[in-house]
């Protein structure tokens, strides 16, 4: 590299987009963490949910940043996700929400903490922990209070606790459950019943144990809508990434990720010409079409094609036309003053992932977690 080139590189603005990139802003992450934390009592612990690559963002950078700014606990879905966090330098406790017995050895080797949600999983884990001469290995008990997904029922409390009291190998670090419809104001009565059931389960566990454990129930919307149900810890995922599941809360949070790309090429087509595979788009007039290097292999599903989804270019909306290809989309930029290499926004804090998701009837959770590992992550500090 010549001196001139290296100087140019140093002087060029970091933010100039030259390819498809998912830009992750750690300042916004701090803002969201602080906002969610401001809803908690000082003694309530904060568990950040960083499963699925921190909701598609970048689990290593996000977990390390959250660890530095004071998160107490992490949660992932699967054992391998916890292993990756340990390899990335995360030292805080990590709850594995949905471990499979086949991974228990690995889980213990990396000091991860399993959710024990069924008799089979409980028995399997105790047997292994005893076999390894573990003492007081931290485990978490999940109870089903209505979601009917994972967990023991209230009727299982006595049997579960007597098994746990019969061994020194494990120690109950927490008892938890998960809300069914915490974002849904129409489900207030159902949620209140869940909270009551959870309280009753915790009281029964507590009565039989001579040591303390953490109780936790709320996800992000639970934290925001049910302050009376924070217990000892809360579990926030979507909130720390900048979505509050309501217009009101979205105003208090900042989406941390911007999915950006560029215009690779521009074509002008005449009436009667088509764009993309299977001629799914046919023009009825002269149109200007831009090709963008992002496709369904990057996480922009085919459902966004044929005029449903859109991108923004110079703050103007350009609909995705025709079928989404594996590596490309074509958008209609007729009337937008743009040229090849110009920046394209798929979503950012203004054109949010939630808005784009809505164009196909899905939710921000699905869109952001789908952004594939092929897309380069750029961390902004």
Ligand X SMILES: *Cc1c(COP(=O)(O)O)cnc(C)c1O
**Residue 113 contacts residue 141 (beta carbons within 8 Å):** no
Cα Rg, the chain, nearest whole Å: 24
List alpha helices for 184-302, DSSP H.
188-208, 220-225, 238-241, 247-250
Q: For residue 77, with 0-12 CB atoms within 10 Å meaning exposed, 13-18 middle and 19 or more buried, which class applies?
A: middle
Q: How far is the CB of 51 from ligand X (least distance, A)?
A: 6
Report yes or no: 282 and 273 within 8 Å, Cβ to Cβ: yes
Q: Tell me the closest approach of the beta carbon of residue 79 to ligand X, in angstroms.
A: 15
β-bridge mates for residue 171, sequence order: 138
Instruction: Give the shortest CB-36-to-ligand X separation in angstroms.
Output: 9
Query: What's the closest the beta carbon of residue 223 comes to ligand X, in angstroms?
Result: 8
Which is closer to ligand X, CB of 224 or CB of 263?
224
Cα separation, 126 vs 139, whole angstroms: 10
Nearer Cβ to ligand X (82/305): 82
Q: How far is the CB of 242 from ligand X (least distance, A)?
A: 11
239 or 242: CB nearest ligand X = 239
Residues near 372 by beta carbon (within 8 Å), at least 6 away in sequence:
297, 298, 299
Q: Which residues fall within 8 angstroms of residue 155, CB to CB, at 6 or more apart?
A: none
Which helix (H) or strand (E) segment holds residue 105: the answer is helix 104-109
Residue with Cβ nearer ligand X (20 or 182): 182
Beta-carbon contacts of 347 under 8 Å, excluding residues fewer than 6 positions away, are: 255, 257, 258, 259, 353, 355, 356, 367
- Rounded to the nearest whole angstrom, what is the least distance from the CB of residue 221 to ligand X in the complex? 6
User: Residue 68 class from Cβ within 10 Å (0-12 exposed, 13-18 middle, 19+ buried)?
Assistant: exposed
Cβ atoms of residues 354 and 309 within 8 Å: no
Handedness of CA 113, 66, 349, 291 (dihedral sign): negative
Residues contributing to the site for ligand X (CB under 6 A): 49, 51, 97, 178, 219-221, 235-239
Residues shown for the chain: 381
In the complex, what is the shortest distance from the CB of residue 372 to ligand X, in angstroms, rounded to a whole number?
20
Q: Residue 245 or residue 312: which is nearer to ligand X going by CB?
A: 245
CB-wise, 234 or 324, nearer to ligand X? 234
CB of 96 to ligand X, least distance (A): 11
Closer CB to ligand X, 290 or 364, in the complex: 364
Shortest gap between Cβ of 59 and ligand X (angstroms)? 13
Would you say 75 or 320 has its CB closer to ligand X? 75
Q: Which residue is nearest to ligand X (CB)?
A: 237
In the complex, least distance from residue 220 CB atom to ligand X, rounded to whole angstroms: 3
E strand map for 108-256: 113-116, 137-142, 170-176, 214-216, 233-236
Helix, strand, coil: what percent of the chain each, to 5? 40, 25, 40
Task: Pick between residue 194 and residue 221 the one whose CB is nearest to ligand X.
Answer: 221
148 or 285: CB nearest ligand X? 148
Give DSSP secondary structure letters for 286-338.
-EEEEEES--GGGT--GGGTTTT-EEEETTEEEEEES---SS-EEEE-TT---
């Amino acid at each position: 590299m010549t001196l001139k080139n290296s100087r140019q590189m140093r002087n060029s603005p970091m933010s100039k987009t030259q390819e498809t990139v998912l830009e992750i802003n750690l300042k916004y992450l701090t803002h969201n963490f602080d906002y969610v934390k401001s809803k908690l009592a000082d003694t309530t612990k904060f568990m950040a949910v960083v499963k699925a690559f921190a909701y598609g963002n970048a689990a290593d950078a996000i977990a390390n940043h959250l660890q530095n700014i004071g998160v107490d606990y992490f949660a992932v879905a699967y054992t391998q996700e916890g292993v990756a966090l340990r390899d990335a330098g995360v030292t805080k406790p990590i709850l594995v929400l949905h471990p499979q017995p086949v991974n228990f050895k690995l889980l213990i080797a990396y000091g991860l903490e399993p959710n024990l949600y069924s008799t089979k999983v409980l028995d399997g884990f105790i047997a292994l922990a005893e076999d390894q001469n573990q003492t007081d290995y931290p485990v978490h008990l999940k109870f089903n209070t209505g979601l009917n997904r994972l967990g023991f029922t209230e009727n299982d409390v006595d049997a579960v606790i007597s098994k746990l009291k019969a061994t020194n190998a494990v120690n109950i670090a927490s008892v938890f459950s998960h809300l069914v419809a915490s974002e849904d104001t129409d489900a207030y009565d159902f949620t209140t019943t869940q909270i009551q059931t959870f309280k009753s389960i915790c009281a029964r566990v507590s009565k039989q144990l001579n040591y303390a454990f953490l109780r936790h129930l709320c996800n992000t919307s639970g934290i925001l809508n049910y302050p009376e149900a924070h217990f000892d810890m809360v579990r926030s995922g979507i909130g720390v990434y900048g979505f509050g599941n309501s217009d009101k809360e979205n105003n208090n949070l900042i989406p941390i990720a911007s999915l950006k790309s560029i215009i690779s090429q521009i074509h002008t087509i005449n009436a009667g010409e088509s764009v993309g595979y299977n001629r799914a788009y046919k023009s009825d007039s002269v149109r200007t079409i831009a090709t963008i290097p992002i496709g369904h292999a990057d996480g922009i599903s085919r459902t966004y094609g044929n005029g449903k989804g859109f991108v923004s270019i110079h703050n103007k909306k350009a609909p995705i036309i025709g079928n989404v290809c594996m590596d490309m989309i074509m958008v209609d930029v007729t009337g937008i003053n743009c040229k090849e290499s110009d920046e394209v926004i798929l979503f950012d804090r203004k054109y949010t992932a939630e808005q784009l998701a809505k164009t196909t009837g899905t939710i921000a959770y699905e869109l952001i977690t789908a952004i594939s590992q092929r897309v380069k992550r750029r961390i902004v500090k």
